[in-house]
Amino acid sequence: MTHKPCPFCGSYELEYQIGTTDREGIPTNIMCTKCGCTGPWVYLSEKELCCKEDELPERALQHWNSRSPHNYWPS
């Protein structure tokens, strides 16, 4: 899956971070490694997180692609 660049600095270098697992699953979000802005948190199952090391979890990526923390994407 392709991802959109960071809405703030335009970087394509993204990584994901994982929060503490709770009853709903594993909170995950996409973060820009350049300016540190983050996408919305989504709960993923363990299975969804089983991707290659250099791959971002697809569902977290969908959220990153669909909106930014400020609901703004430059054209």
Interface residue list for Zn ion (CB under 5 A): 6, 8-9, 11, 32, 34-35
User: Which two tokens mark 19?
Assistant: 């929060």
Provide, rounded to whole angstroms, the least separation between the CB of residue 5 and Zn ion.
Answer: 8
CB 7 within 8 A of CB 72: yes
Rounded Cα distance between 37 and 22, Å, is 24
In the complex with Zn ion, which residue's Cβ is closer, 25 or 63? 63
In the complex with Zn ion, which residue's Cβ is closer, 9 or 50? 9
Amino acid type, 31: M
Provide, rounded to whole angstroms, the least separation between the CB of residue 65 and Zn ion.
Answer: 14
